[in-house]
A and B are shown apart, each in its own frame.
Chain A
């Protein structure tokens, strides 16, 4: 339930997800995951034609059914990355900082194995989800074996919902877009890995538009006036996984992490590294994670501080030696030199290490 390489999330969660993703990697060639499903338009070579038109259900509405994965997940780690300072209410900001200081060990979902709640929605989920559609009910199935029901039979949201993890969802069609409003969440889950909270007043509005056979545009509006000063939208794209299906991810299976999660972010003691040394590390480092996803970091100097930026998300790098740096989430960056030139950035992270070559890129 985490990006395969994520530098600020909960170590326990990362460890578990690592197992789960490793399972996907090792099982992808398993014959039962390669079942040519009927009803998929195919290219002459038998592969699914992902650019074919979006299919329609018998009632003429777009059919969103399928197993979908989000390959680019800028919000999984930090749902509030587009908010400006002050737009997160002070109590929520303070709580997020406290959760980061604890290095995510209080994460109710990825560490303590409770349901992910709103975090399993496409905008923040890291695992494939399966949409099963009927005219009056859409169900979204997750690899963690939980599900969401979305009622399309015309009912309204309950006036006084029973607060629960997954919320209560009703949907309707606006042209070819499915609009799903969810309320009735309890306040026990986090919205993302860094620990942004929500209250029981949270309401999410998701808009699903199947652009073509292989692509599902999803936007989600977050509305929680008790925690955030304004509503905001995030957008992601789902990629169809044809001829495959969900695997099982059972957080509670052999759970042994949480007892070992000790320490605080503030335990990291900085050493003094001269700015001229830090300046040598500035540049772009790019490669792939252990699981083959592209990853790119820009390292830059701001005053006397070294920072990293990935997809626009910036993190302070605290020097723990002249070559090693710690992130606020507890991951480690090491700059590796050869012939007095910095050639590689080595990342150490519970989700798997990665070595990223320095690339010559115009900034």
Chain B
């Protein structure tokens, strides 16, 4: 994301600062039921993967990322992983003023937006984000992706189990906003694979497939860990927003 993420990262810092100053608040230290514990009362993060009544892995929990893959810490990618098509090259430009996060629009930087809470109910996986108190739904009730989706910021997500991995296909994004560290078109599909390795660890692999923009799909992997006995806070991008007018395009 480099320079184009300045506004976003600035806001993120505020969010993190808030978190830091409030982490000692008593309501953030609620020992949640259902978490396996070590003799000293600490959560046993290497306990086996919990399962839902239907035997599938239960992805529920409050998670944060080991690293911020699309933000300040550059994700490790091999040279040549991301190859733009001519159309993609034409669309690549400094986008400071277009970055939706700078304008407090929803941006589902799926893997960068942590912490997030996953819970599952009646054929729907819901992901709640601390970032802007926003959410996404993943339908796992067998429905297909819509053929003619209503283009949205968050896209439309359907998921199915592939063994112990939840595979989620998302499309139906609107095309005028930046949700990736590069351009995208309305042909964008993001395939995510969620695998809970043990009680405390979740691996998310995301493959970005946008044949109009990228010559081949590319994949990033994020490792997340459980944040037990606490809760999401509120982070409202639009509250006291003063960044945007200071964000000028780089030459």
Contacts and interface: CB of A to CB of B under 8 A. Distances in A.
Interface stretch (B2-10, B150-158, B193-201): B150-158
Contact of B105 (A39, A133, A146, A250): A250
A168 B147 CA distance: 39
Given A115-B236, A145-B134, A253-B105, A153 B32 contact: yes
Interface stretch (A11-19, A43-51, A156-164): A156-164
Given A38-B141, A145-B154, A147-B128, A165 B105 contact: no
Contact of A137 (B26, B105, B106, B119): B119
Interface in A233-251: 245, 247-248, 250
A67 to B, nearest CB: 11
B234 interface: yes
Interface in B81-105: 103-105
A313 interface: no
Nearest to B22: A162
Interface residues of chain B: helix, strand, loop or mixed (majority): loop
A3 B67 CA distance: 44
Nearest to B240: A114
B161 interface: no
Nearest to A168: B27
Contacts of A115: 133, 236
Given A33-B150, A115-B236, 17 more contacts: A30-B146, A38-B141, A112-B238, A113-B238, A137-B119, A139-B126, A145-B154, A147-B128, A149-B231, A155-B30, A160-B27, A162-B234, A166-B133, A248-B106, A248-B150, A252-B104, A252-B105
Nearest to A146: B133
A241 to B, nearest CB: 15
Which of A32, A38, A153, A160 is the most central at the interface, judged by chain B CB atoms within 10 Å of its CB?
Answer: A32
- Taking residues whose C-beta sits less than 8 angstroms from the other chain, chain B's interface range is 35 or more
Interface of A: 27, 30-33, 35, 37-39, 65, 112-115, 132-134, 136-137, 139, 141, 145-147, 149, 153, 155, 158-162, 164-166, 168, 245, 247-248, 250, 252-253
B250 interface: no
B104 A165 contact: no
A132 B143 contact: no
A31 B233 contact: no
A198 B7 CA distance: 32
A161 B119 contact: no
B134 A114 contact: no
B123 interface: yes
Contact of B153 (A113, A245, A248): A248
Q: Considering the complex of A and B, which 6 residue pairs feature the smallest CB-CB distances, nearest first?
A: A158-B27, A32-B146, A164-B234, A248-B152, A145-B134, A147-B135
B73 interface: no
B139 to A, nearest CB: 8
A164 B18 CA distance: 12
Contact of A147 (B33, B134, B154): B134
A145 B238 contact: no
Interface string B25-45: 111001011000000000000
